[in-house]
């Protein structure tokens, strides 16, 4: 499986500000995925990031709130914009394995105050 | 996206005991199935894929029942280090892509000495 490095590992942010999370993979991958895991909840897919095209967002998530960049096949960023306390969550990037499973970065624990 | 349901627990089990938990899924078109393990404040990690014929990996056995739409995980001779949250994951994408993954909320397992 790929080695996925995600940073920051955690942050405490003021409401109304934005945070950009970075995800670096040690091999080239076609798709990268961004998830959110709210306290006590299951992982929810935010969007799929494809290199060279706009990200594909899931229902309930919009580009203005969660802009994504995918400048090359090993890197992606997710920005959480205009944050509110409801955005406090763990954000995870992932890549796809050979069997359709997901492998995750270490996660970013975000607290908005 | 259809739901994946798990008993949240916690399951409190003495060390050395056998523990089993189930997961049900509602989308009969689901193609592939996985169990993940998530430790506190860590990212989910793939424990094992679940095959139609059932599969075993050391002390862990996974079973799939397509007719009843449930997946099970059996842990034998449980160790203290097995304490974690176990996530049931189902892929409903016909192409098997990782963007089709649906995660359960997880079953919390506590192994007691």
Answer yes or no: is pLDDT of B96 > 70. no
The contacts of residue A98 (CB under 8 Å, 6+ apart) are none
Name the band, by pLDDT with cuts 50, 70 and 90, for residue A72.
very high
Q: For chain A, positions 60-79, list CB contacts with chain B under 8 A.
A: none
Q: What is the pLDDT of residues A75-95, one digit of tens each?
A: 999 999 999 999 999 999 999
Name the band, by pLDDT with cuts 50, 70 and 90, for residue A53.
confident
The answer to whether A45 contacts chain B (CB < 8 Å) is yes
Q: What is the pLDDT of residues B24-58, one digit of tens each?
A: 999 888 889 999 999 998 999 999 999 888 899 99
Query: A41, A102, A110, A111: best mutation site toward chain B, by most B Cβ within 10 Å?
Result: A102
3-class DSSP state for residue A86? helix
Q: Residue A46's closest chain B neighbor by CA?
A: B99
**B97 to chain A: which residues are within 8 Å by CB?**
31, 96, 100
Report CB contact under 8 Å: A33, B34: no
Averaged pLDDT, A54-77: 96
CB pairs under 8 A between A and B: 64
Q: Are B39 and B81 in contact (CB under 8 A)?
A: no
Query: A100, A105, A108, A111: best mutation site toward chain B, by most B Cβ within 10 Å?
Result: A100
d(CA A29, CA B26): 31
**A94 to chain B: which residues are within 8 Å by CB?**
98
Among B64, B55, B59, B58, residue whose Cα is nearest residue B88: B64
């Amino acid at each position: 499986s790929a080695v996925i490095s995600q940073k920051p590992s955690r942050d405490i942010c003021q409401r109304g500000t934005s945070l950009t999370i970075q995800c670096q993979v040690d091999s080239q991958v076609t798709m990268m995925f961004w998830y959110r895991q709210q306290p006590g909840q299951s992982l929810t897919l935010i969007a799929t990031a494809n290199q060279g095209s706009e990200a594909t967002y899931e229902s309930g998530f919009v580009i203005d709130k969660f802009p994504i960049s995918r400048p090359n096949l090993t890197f992606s960023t997710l920005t959480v914009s205009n944050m509110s306390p409801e955005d406090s969550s763990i954000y995870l990037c992932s890549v796809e394995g050979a069997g359709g499973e997901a492998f995750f970065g270490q996660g970013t624990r975000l607290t908005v105050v | 996206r259809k739901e994946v349901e798990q008993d949240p627990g916690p399951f409190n089990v003495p060390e050395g005991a056998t523990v089993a938990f189930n997961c049900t899924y509602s989308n009969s078109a689901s193609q592939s199935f996985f169990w993940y393990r998530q430790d506190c404040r860590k990212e989910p990690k793939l424990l094992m894929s679940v095959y139609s014929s059932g599969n075993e990996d050391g002390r862990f056995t996974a079973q799939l029942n397509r007719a009843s739409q449930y997946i099970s995980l059996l842990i034998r001779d449980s160790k203290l280090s097995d304490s974690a949250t176990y996530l049931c994951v189902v892929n409903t994408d016909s192409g098997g892509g990782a963007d089709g993954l649906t995660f359960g909320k997880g079953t919390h397992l506590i192994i007691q000495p």
